[in-house]
Structure 1
Amino acid sequence: MTTALNTILKARSVAIIGASNDPSKRGNQAIRKLHADGYEGAIYPINPKASEILGFKTYTSVLHVDADIDLALICTPAKSLPDILDQCGTKNIPGAVVLAAGFTEAEPDGQAIAEATLQAAQKNNVRVIGPNTNGLFNLHNKMNLVGVQDVEPGNIGICSQSGNMMLALATEAKRRGGLGFSSYVGVGNQLDLNLADYLQYFGDDDDTKAPVFYVEGFQEGRAFLDTCRKVTQKKPVIIYKSGRTEAGQVAASSHTGSLASSFALTRGLLRQAGATVVEQSDKILSIAEGLSKLPVPKGGRVAILADGGGHATVTVDALVDAGVELAELSSETIAKLRQLLPVAASLTNPVDVAGGTDEDPSVCADCADVILADNNVDILMIIGMYGGFAARFNPALLGNELDTSQRISELSSKYGKPLLVQSVYAALRTKPIELLKDAGVPVFIWPEPAVRCTSELIAYANARSRNAASPLVMPDGPVAEGKYILAKITQESRAAFYEHEAKDLLAAYGVNVPGQFLARTEDDLAKVVEVLGNGPMAMKIVSHDILHKSDAGGVMLKISGEGAMRSAYREILANARAYNPDAHVHGVLVAPMAQSGVEIIIGVVHDPMFGPVMMFGLGGIFVEVLKDVAFRALPMSQADAREMIEEIQSSNILDGVRGGVPVDKTSLEDLMMKVSQLALAHPEIKEIDLNPVIVRNDGYDVVDARMILNSKGD
């Protein structure tokens, strides 16, 4: 796949099928742009009715071109595509960019045309970009088949399901200066090549340091996650996902199912794979710029070098809000700074030069050098008015400031540490600022975007380390007892597990499950004390037609003694019949009351885009109200389970509040990993819902468990 895309995006010859003498047509614009940009490859206009277009000899068909062709830009209507792709196949053209719309999204016969086009592409081994794409470009190859103007070559790749988003990024890059793009692919309908294919290409492309993806929908979400996990070991991947109200159509037959239909699922899975997920479109380019230019930090300790208290304070506040650690400068560093700066300077982090650079900007580079040499510092942010000393104080300082910019630009590579600059003069694009940009130093106008870039850089470094050090855990296969339980349910043509069956399956995979007793009749209750003891009991209806037992009045708690259990048994059955007269009642499940603790939920769903996904959060009756949950794709690593526990906003509750004892997070991680193994070993289970699980300082109790098979049970 990468080989085909490499040939397409670095094509040495392009055929323009549907070339035209009409300047308003893409078949004319593409030729003009290639020629104007100095494209060094061969250009072959294809038009059976013209002998020459824009000075280029035309051909009636690609079959009449007496040379190899790497790429076909097809500008003809949708219905012509199958025949054209047949010709491309005969000519051994490896790839085609299809501009035409009129497929599944428009024409009544669009689906049939799409199928015929795909069959022709596959039969002829021609890889298709699009259809319904605005094209592609490779600026290092001077091949611009989009026609966008004034785009500078650089190291940011773009893959977008919106041509307008690419134009917005290109326009912003032109306004800001100092950054450019390697290649762009307009995804279109993903009839053949998809987002995962493009990500693999950008991951292997030496000209691309940071690919940016604007995504409206995934067709092969799991393949994208798997590719992203590999690519992010080499370079950052920045993703903006639009349409964030729905991440997939999941049946809301359980708490897990209803909560999975959210942007939180997509965001959690992409971050698990190491991607940087941007949630504001105006932050895409600034984050991509920083991540494409800066080295990956070894840690997350940030130092600030400022020439004013205001911007320093704003920066510190933003760093603290983002959860970023402020570096503690060593005594040696402070002593060296004392020799460079006036008495009024603040020498602890943030370092405020207190006017010490106003007459000699080079002091800024001296201080930056000292701070970056400190082993306690991983990242340096220069904050304030650097780049404007000559403009504000004395034009004679310009030479000094330019020399200082050059020195500053060399410090990041000298120490292998990221260095960012925030300057009030960035918008004016002064010469010292432009020198920094051209040398690869990210420069920001305001502190908050600089901080956001810094925090995302740290998050990327952490994710890369986590994924490298913590492998995904796969099951050895389904255990024998698990196969037996599943076989019984499928034989009875049931979709829903009985609760005791779900708990038995959990136990088969090593989950600690409390004792339980199924009373099929009221008289069975006489055996409860012998099996479970005589403590207070919880009693619940067992019916595959009643999933939400509390709603049906099918749960009674703290029941002690045989007489009370008999009375509760009768009441539960009466409530169930009133709730659903047609429900099949299998019995009443009796279990010892769980000890008090924190209620959490663990669930697994099969997302239509991403496959099996685990959810974790606070449980009980408020789970769908609070929606404070985290998601990870399965298989997952032990580190993923640990991060899920820490990720929810209410994670501090698990650490104990108001004198409470912290829960046993180790056993909680173990539970999550065992549920993962169960779900992977039995893909026929569509949903798993453990809610609540009560976690304590000495373990956990699975209080309720629901499982649902897929429609086929296989």
Structure 2
Amino acid sequence: MSEALDRIFKARSIAIVGASGDPAKRGNQATRKLQADGYDGAIFPIHPKADEILGLKAYPSVLDVTAQIDVALICTPVGTLPSVLAQCGKKKIPGAVVLAAGFSEIGPQGERIAAETLEAARAHNVRLVGPNTNGVFNLHNRMNMVGVQDAVPGNIGICSQSGNMMLGLVTEAKRRGGVGFSSYVGVGNQLDVSLAEYLRYFGQDDDTRSAVFYVEGFRDGRAFLDTCRDVTQTKPVIVYKSGRTEAGQVAASSHTGSLASSFTLSRDLLRQAGATVVEQSDKLLSVAEGLSKLPVPKGGKVAILADGGGHATVTVDALVDAGVELARLSEQTVRRLRDVLPAAASCVNPVDVAGGTDDDPSVAALCADILLGDDSVDLLMLIGMYGGFAARFNPALLQNEMATSRRLADIAARHGKPLLVQSVYAALRTEPIEVLKDLGVPVFVWPEPAVRCVSELIFYARARDRNASFPLLEPGEPEREGSDILAAVLADGRDAFYEHEARDLLSAYGIGTPPQFLARSRSDLHEAARELGDRPLAMKIVSRDILHKSDAGGVRLNVHGEQALSDAYGSIVASAKAYDGDADVHGVLLSPMAQPGVEVIIGVVHDPMFGPVMMFGLGGIFVEILKDVAFRSLPMSRADAGEMIDDIQGSTMLDGARGQLPVDRTALIDLIIRVSRLALCHPDIVEIDLNPVILRHDGYDVVDARMILKAKGH
């Protein structure tokens, strides 16, 4: 753990630089809040003229304080920062929380001030939170430098680029009860401390069981992914990524480049790293609560215990929509349930007690114990009106129901399996509901949020196991032949490969490519026909100036016979010249027509936030229309490749639609891994676009290959 961050979040002494006697000033508000909350550390108001502020001795500067200071809360204007930070450095204060705005967000002048501030901080070894932050709190330490009211201590950490998002979570938690927070940091401009460093802190903080991140943009997305992969081995990380990724800045010179601007990229890469990505802000707290309270399940099969058919049906529908599997109960479990439930009860999953708990809520605990004891059940959902039997039927049931709440929590803990409750009485916060919450059982008003929590818990368990079990495949040394091909392209001063060069580079990395022949003139066509055989051929223009061959009329398909080859050659060259009169025509590439199959796209793009990223999806002419693609960061594991294939909506097409044989998935995964190795071995190639690749039951054909080089000077 970073010593500076540890001392910031767990500060035993705080200097308020810019402390004031004016209640409207932030330095006054921060001091008052610390006093009101009973912060038992030392508070040192810093003011150039005052002797006392809010009953505390004031000091002209931090250098005048004789005691050790863990963190400085700087409430003064931006122009004071370099000198204040210099004083903090001389005082050996490890961290500063900078509230001031007016940096890079206001243009060149702000960027200059930001650079001077960062230079001063680093020169004096002071870590900066912010600037343009609303502060930090640690509720276990009663250190609230934000001033937020009614924040309840708990085990969820918050890191946010929006103060209002934090306020929303705190307010909702207060209303619902049973959930609270460990620490919060408003990251502001991330001038110094990065999101990845905050994530590392939360990962090592004993008071935090899950961490919530509201992110608008990453300064170093790759560092966050790498840290997330480590942290999620021990605790969940929940991310809400707002807006559209900055990957849209990449030049769209290929399908891969243009599609990389989608939000899908950020979501897929975060999930690959083990993060739980929530796309609806009103689900953020419930998911974080569930993941912070519940044990990680060993599998993904769910049992439902319900006291009514309506909510049970809604729950089943939501589970099916989420891809969650219902457990098949053992015969012994069914028999035991029949022994304790009325004859009208349904004892298959979902279990409907048919009024069996109306006059004795403790029956719910008996059934829960039976269900959680079944080896086929990994998670249990208690659905309906639990927590409201006393209110609904008979007030005399209250003590029974409260005792049952305690038993339910104990049963779940004893079996080590997650238990979630959905109750129509949750919003009323009845006493039995509050007992459940206090004992760590998440309670939801509606089935869908409960199901969302279940599905994300299962995803987290699987992602954690996947990342622990399947290592990332590092590329090793580049192939000599591949390096020679790349060197020749660079020496020619081009920013893109000719297609035959791209295919040769693929071959150097063990990727199967069809036979090819580059015809530099009509006189080469006889030799091409002899080498490629008497079969229909595809012909494409080869030009450094024409990347999109079809747009230039530079493609002819199913060409057969020498005369047809000659006619097609002339037509292709003429079309290319008509498209771009100055185009340098290097020749025409001939290769056999591919056999039919499923068309997909495989690509790699260098994303400005996340680095090299693999893309897979349905390909051909519809790729830009359907946008049915999935992404993974590189390096990746074989499990990542398999999950990426399953992620696309059209993945069922690979399993043999309309009587077709299923494609060779092993060969497809091998292809993806080999392309990833090529991309990592040659970072000068910033875009790879294989579209289409035609998949069959016996292999694949790379029909078109495009590779783009890094622009000079970048």
TM bracket, shorter-chain basis: over 0.9
Report if the CA contact (8 A) 1:372-1:415 is conserved.
yes
Q: For the structure 1 residues 687 and 319, does the alpha-carbon distance in structure 2 shift closer, same or farther, using more than 3 Å as the test?
A: same
Report if the CA contact (8 A) 2:73-2:98 is conserved.
yes
What corresponds to 2:431 in structure 1?
431
CA distance in structure 2 between the aligned counterparts of 1:547 and 1:620, rounded to whole angstroms: 16
CA distance in structure 1 between the aligned counterparts of 2:654 and 2:84, rounded to whole angstroms: 62
What corresponds to 2:550 in structure 1?
550
RMSD: 0.9
Letter in 1 for 2:280: Q
- Displacement, 1:526? 1.0
Report if the CA contact (8 A) 1:638-1:669 is conserved.
yes
- Secondary structure (helix, strand or coil) at the match of 1:678 reads helix
CA distance in structure 1 between the aligned counterparts of 2:494 and 2:501, rounded to whole angstroms: 12
What corresponds to 1:356 in structure 2?
356
TM-score, normalisation: structure 1: 0.99
Report if the CA contact (8 A) 2:300-2:378 is conserved.
yes
CA distance in structure 1 between the aligned counterparts of 2:187 and 2:614, rounded to whole angstroms: 29
CA distance in structure 2 between the aligned counterparts of 1:706 and 1:529, rounded to whole angstroms: 24
What corresponds to 1:474 in structure 2?
474
- Secondary structure (helix, strand or coil) at the match of 2:200 reads helix
CA distance in structure 1 between the aligned counterparts of 2:20 and 2:285, rounded to whole angstroms: 35
Alpha-carbon deviations, 1:594-633, whole Å to 9, x = none?
Answer: 1111110000000000000010001101000000000000
CA distance in structure 1 between the aligned counterparts of 2:321 and 2:200, rounded to whole angstroms: 35
Report if the CA contact (8 A) 1:685-1:713 is conserved.
no
State yes or no: 1:420 paired with 2:417.
Answer: no
What corresponds to 1:44 in structure 2?
44
- Secondary structure (helix, strand or coil) at the match of 1:367 reads helix
CA distance in structure 1 between the aligned counterparts of 2:449 and 2:544, rounded to whole angstroms: 52
What corresponds to 1:623 in structure 2?
623
- Secondary structure (helix, strand or coil) at the match of 2:128 reads strand
What corresponds to 1:127 in structure 2?
127
What corresponds to 1:393 in structure 2?
393
Letter in 1 for 2:560: S
Q: For the structure 1 residues 587 and 108, does the alpha-carbon distance in structure 2 shift closer, same or farther, using more than 3 Å as the test?
A: closer
What corresponds to 1:159 in structure 2?
159
Letter in 1 for 2:571: E
- Secondary structure (helix, strand or coil) at the match of 2:659 reads coil
What corresponds to 2:527 in structure 1?
527
- Secondary structure (helix, strand or coil) at the match of 2:530 reads helix
Report if the CA contact (8 A) 2:214-2:242 is conserved.
yes
What corresponds to 2:649 in structure 1?
649
CA distance in structure 2 between the aligned counterparts of 1:11 and 1:683, rounded to whole angstroms: 44
Letter in 1 for 2:422: Q
CA distance in structure 1 between the aligned counterparts of 2:685 and 2:115, rounded to whole angstroms: 32
Alpha-carbon deviations, 1:438-467, whole Å to 9, x = none?
Answer: 111000000000000000100111111111
Letter in 1 for 2:77: P
Q: For the structure 1 residues 632 and 42, does the alpha-carbon distance in structure 2 shift closer, same or farther, using more than 3 Å as the test?
A: same
What corresponds to 2:315 in structure 1?
315
- Displacement, 1:12? 0.6
Letter in 1 for 2:203: G
Instruction: Map residues 29-428 of structure 1 onto 2, 5 A cutoff.
Output: 29-106=29-106, 109-244=109-244, 247-428=247-428
- Secondary structure (helix, strand or coil) at the match of 1:475 reads coil
Report if the CA contact (8 A) 1:311-1:447 is conserved.
yes
CA distance in structure 2 between the aligned counterparts of 1:444 and 1:122, rounded to whole angstroms: 47
Please list every run of 5 or more consecutive structure 2 residues that lacks an aligned counterpart in the other structure.
none
CA distance in structure 2 between the aligned counterparts of 1:183 and 1:584, rounded to whole angstroms: 62
CA distance in structure 2 between the aligned counterparts of 1:376 and 1:244, rounded to whole angstroms: 41
What corresponds to 2:577 in structure 1?
577
TM-score, normalisation: structure 2: 0.99
- Secondary structure (helix, strand or coil) at the match of 2:106 reads coil
What corresponds to 2:592 in structure 1?
592
What corresponds to 2:463 in structure 1?
463
- Secondary structure (helix, strand or coil) at the match of 2:105 reads coil
Letter in 1 for 2:403: D
Letter in 1 for 2:584: H
Letter in 1 for 2:221: G
Alpha-carbon deviations, 1:522-570, whole Å to 9, x = none?
Answer: 1001101332111111110001211111111111111111111111100
Letter in 2 for 1:79: G
- Displacement, 1:713? 8.2
Please list every run of 5 or more consecutive structure 1 residues that lacks an aligned counterpart in the other structure.
none
What corresponds to 2:676 in structure 1?
676
State yes or no: 1:705 paired with 2:705.
Answer: yes
- The total of aligned residue pairs comes to 714
Letter in 1 for 2:273: A
Report runs of 4+ in structure 1 exceeding 4 Å deviation. Answer: none
Identity across the alignment (%): 73
Alpha-carbon deviations, 1:300-329, whole Å to 9, x = none?
Answer: 000000000000000001001111000011
Letter in 2 for 1:639: A
Report if the CA contact (8 A) 2:390-2:401 is conserved.
yes
Letter in 1 for 2:267: R
Alpha-carbon deviations, 1:690-710, whole Å to 9, x = none?
Answer: 000011000000000000100
State yes or no: 1:486 paired with 2:500.
Answer: no
- Secondary structure (helix, strand or coil) at the match of 2:342 reads coil
- Displacement, 1:247? 4.1
- Secondary structure (helix, strand or coil) at the match of 2:450 reads helix
